[in-house]
Structure 1
Amino acid sequence: LVDFAKEKKIKFVAANIPRRFASQVYKQGFEALNALTPQEKTWIAPLPIAYDATLPGYVAMLEMSGGHGGDNLPKAQAVKDATMGYFIAQNLVAGSVFIHYNGTYHSDNYEGINWYLKKLKPQVKIVTIAAVSQKDLDKLEAEHLNKADFIIVVDEDMTKTR
């Protein structure tokens, strides 16, 4: 994507939080971000990070982890979502389309990045696309209903890469 943007002279925004900062939140909570230098703080969403532990995606993350990572696991996810939402908001241009590529967990069910972006820019129109895998390609499974505006369904046996 970076090479394509360079070739076509398209603005490209790096919206992710540096991985080590999210790792610090996972280990020590949001408080770890207070120790960042002033310059490092420019690479993340402004502090304090808003956080709603009752959002279904963060609740599900805690349940899926079986308690490993404690309360800081969804906080690490939230600081990623908040930072991406913040940098999207900072780079929106009225009357233009902003395309953001992210893993689906960051925008499933209109949560994650969307929640933070709507807090910053309540009037922004967001359209999401999710990719899901399932055995039956003819009927969307209930767990995927309303996950996104557009849902791409692929065979569960399809080769996946990371």
Structure 2
Amino acid sequence: MRLILLLLCLLAFAFRSRLDSSGLDGPDKPAYRLYDPKLKATTYTKLLHQAADADVVLFGELHNNPICHWLELQLAKDLQTQKKGNLVLGAEMFETDNQTALTDYVEGRTTGKELSTQARLWPNFDTDYKPIADFAREQKIPFVATNVPRRYASLVARKGLTALDTLSAETKRQIAPLPLTVDLTLPGYKAMLDMMGGDSGHGGNTSSGNPHAGSSDAAANFARAQAIKDATMAYFILQNLKAGQTMLHFNGDYHSKNFEGIVWYLRKQRPDLKIVTLSSVELANPDKPEAENKSLADFVLAIPADMTKTY
């Protein structure tokens, strides 16, 4: 019996050595890594702990990345357990004028087919956001549509913020209160201006823009269109957040990374708010994030660059 055991151990060792020499027994290939702002490795447990203690959690996703969407669902499930009913969900992917349609679905009054005809759903809704909406429906979790209706963001991009002054009082209730302060010197908006060849100093804090001022102002209005989205999301997050609750909000990474965008507008209205941010990045080697990924957020979600995309 001992001889048989010895032979089995020798065979196992030989097989192991063969794997090692062939390179087949390399390191694990995790689907993601989590880091703190200084790029020190951290854990999902720490993310969950901080998220449960926060007023607002901004999950900055990459829209076509399946790991982002999977982790969003896991975080929603675990926060629901932690918060014992004091969880609220919100998302950029639903616009404020579609709130009734979203609420009717989450509260079980309509079907998925009816939701698809009543709301402007993103093309990847079925694969990426429906599982979260279905979880909210199952658990009776309020789900807030926070984004500005796209036609008004487009209006700002074309004509500047002053174009919103022509909207009716009822329509204005679907966007952040006016007049809107936009600081185009913030790094995120400044990067947009630079990318489009605009003057990053143009417009200052509150300039609404003149649509006839040329390419520089066109670039500024593009940044202002981003700002009206950020401000509207921040406004409706706060409008739907009660004491003791945590709002888990899903948005594109650019809307909250570097603690800007939505974060800036939240802080402007509620400096005391406990906010946790997560920024998603795709890296050739998630085990070795580069210095440029520092301080993107409270948690940096590093995903292999060759991860399968949902679209």
TM-score bin (small chain):
over 0.9
- Output the CA distance in 2 between the equivalents of 1:49 and 1:79: 8
1:74 paired to 2:189: no
Larger RCO (CA under 8 A, 6+ residues apart): 2
1:37 paired to 2:168: yes
Deviation (angstroms), 1:50: 1.2
1:119 paired to 2:250: no
Q: Show CA shifts across 1:114-162 (max 9, x none).
A: 0001111110010011110111212222221100111111111223335
- Output the CA distance in 2 between the equivalents of 1:134 and 1:66: 27
Q: Which runs of 5+ in 2 are unaligned?
A: 1-131, 199-214
Structure 1 segment 119-158 matched on structure 2, within 5 A = 119-158=268-307
- Output the CA distance in 1 between the equivalents of 2:197 and 2:304: 28
Larger proportion of strand: 2
Structure 1 segment 78-117 matched on structure 2, within 5 A = 78-117=227-266
Of 189, 206, 213, 1:58 maps to 189
Percent identity, aligned pairs only, is 54
- What letter is aligned with 1:31? T
- Output the CA distance in 2 between the equivalents of 1:142 and 1:40: 44
- Output the CA distance in 1 between the equivalents of 2:184 and 2:309: 31
- Output the CA distance in 2 between the equivalents of 1:107 and 1:124: 15
1:6 paired to 2:6: no
The range that moved more, 58-67 or 10-19, is: 58-67
Deviation (angstroms), 1:99: 0.7
Q: Which runs of 5+ in 1 are unaligned?
A: none
RMSD: 1.3
Deviation (angstroms), 1:109: 0.4
Scaled by the length of structure 1, what TM-score is found?
0.94
- Output the CA distance in 2 between the equivalents of 1:134 and 1:64: 22
- Output the CA distance in 2 between the equivalents of 1:148 and 1:133: 15
- Output the CA distance in 2 between the equivalents of 1:142 and 1:65: 25
- Output the CA distance in 2 between the equivalents of 1:73 and 1:65: 9
- What letter is aligned with 1:8? Q
- What letter is aligned with 1:155? P
- What letter is aligned with 2:145? A
- Output the CA distance in 2 between the equivalents of 1:144 and 1:65: 23
1:19 paired to 2:19: no
Instruction: Please tell me whether the aligned partners of residues 192 and 219 of structure 2 are also in contact (alpha carbons under 8 angstroms).
Output: no
- Output the CA distance in 1 between the equivalents of 2:310 and 2:193: 25
Point out 4+ residue stretches in structure 1 off by more than 4 angstroms: none
- Output the CA distance in 2 between the equivalents of 1:43 and 1:57: 24
The range that moved more, 60-69 or 109-118, is: 60-69
Q: Show CA shifts across 1:69-93 (max 9, x none).
A: 4211110000000000001111111
Instruction: Please tell me whether the aligned partners of residues 256 and 262 of structure 2 are also in contact (alpha carbons under 8 angstroms).
Output: yes
